[in-house]
Amino acid sequence: MALLERVSTLVRANLNDLVDKAEDPEKMIKQVILDMQNQLLQVKTQVAIAIADEHLLEKKKQENEDKVPEWMHKAELAVDKKQDDLARAALLRVESYRELSGNFAQQVDDQKAQVENLKSALRKLDQKLAEANAKADLLIAQHRRARAASRATDAQSGLSANTKSATFDRMKRKVAREEAVGQAKAEILADDVEDRLAALEKEDRIEQLLVELKTKRGA
């Protein structure tokens, strides 16, 4: 999520370093504080949205769980009436709702993790903002005393480190992209076989459920 990446950048920012490198330290730190305030508002909004989505997913999960006994009852009724085709159709619905319920359960878990990530980012950014507000005047004063002595050294070491870092990052992104493409191709080839096998397994489950249901109902 781009929002979390921006927040992470702000949280990791070293305020002392930012002030040392700024042409106008006072303007810079005010801008950093403004950025943090804006990001804090966005994260609060995203937390609320994520929690709402979590509740919606939980509702969908429960709705599908409730459908399972409903359609199992219909399958039993069909068996009692000697309507095997209808029983099979009802059992297929049972399996479908079970599968959907499981999928929603996984989505709920993923959403819970996302909510926790956003809450954690919110806490960290709020703490960083408080720190920035408290240190703003102090940082500017420290910068004024130290800037003359450290500017040349910081510029030289920073340039070398940034250049190497940029080259490394480009190589890392290129390798990651190639790996992702290769994995995607492999997944595409596997999907068709997996889908066909899954369909066969589901058909066997339906037939087995029908046999069990008919045995249970004495049909």
Q: Which residues contact 40 (CB under 8 A, 6 or more apart)?
A: 122, 125, 126, 129
Closest C-alpha among 90, 53, 55, 57 to residue 74 = 90
Specify the higher pLDDT residue, 86 or 183. 86
CA dist., res. 172 & res. 166, Å (int): 10
Decide: residue 155, CB within 10 A, 0-12 exposed, 13-18 middle, 19+ buried.
exposed
Confidence (pLDDT) at 27: 76
| Model confidence band, residue 36 (pLDDT cutoffs 50, 70, 90) | confident
Is the pLDDT reported for residue 189 higher than 80? Answer: no
DSSP string of 183-211, one letter each residue = HHHHHHHHHHHHHHHHHHHHHHHHHHHHH
H-helix or E-strand containing 124? helix 84-217
Taken in order 50, 53, 58, 61, the sign of the CA dihedral is negative
All structural domains of the chain with their residue ranges: 2-217
Per-residue pLDDT of 138-148, as tens digits, reads 777 776 776 66
Confidence (pLDDT) at 43: 86
Lowest mean pLDDT among 96-105, 154-163, 190-199: 154-163
Q: Which residues contact 76 (CB under 8 A, 6 or more apart)?
A: 213, 216, 217
- What is the CA angle 163-166-169, rounded to 5? 150
Per-residue pLDDT of 108-150, as tens digits, reads 999 999 999 988 888 888 888 888 787 777 777 776 776 666 6
Q: How many CB atoms lie within 10 A of CB 216?
A: 10
CA dist., res. 125 & res. 44, Å (int): 11
Decide: residue 113, CB within 10 A, 0-12 exposed, 13-18 middle, 19+ buried.
exposed
The share of the chain scoring above pLDDT 70, in percent, equals 69
| Model confidence band, residue 157 (pLDDT cutoffs 50, 70, 90) | low
Per-residue pLDDT of 5-23, as tens digits, reads 666 666 666 666 666 666 6
Q: Give the mean pLDDT of 64-93.
A: 94
Confidence (pLDDT) at 165: 61
Tokens found for residue 47: 């937390």
Is the pLDDT reported for residue 68 higher than 90? Answer: yes
Which pTM value belongs to this model?
0.57
Whether the CB-CB separation of 183 and 60 falls below 8 Å is answered with no
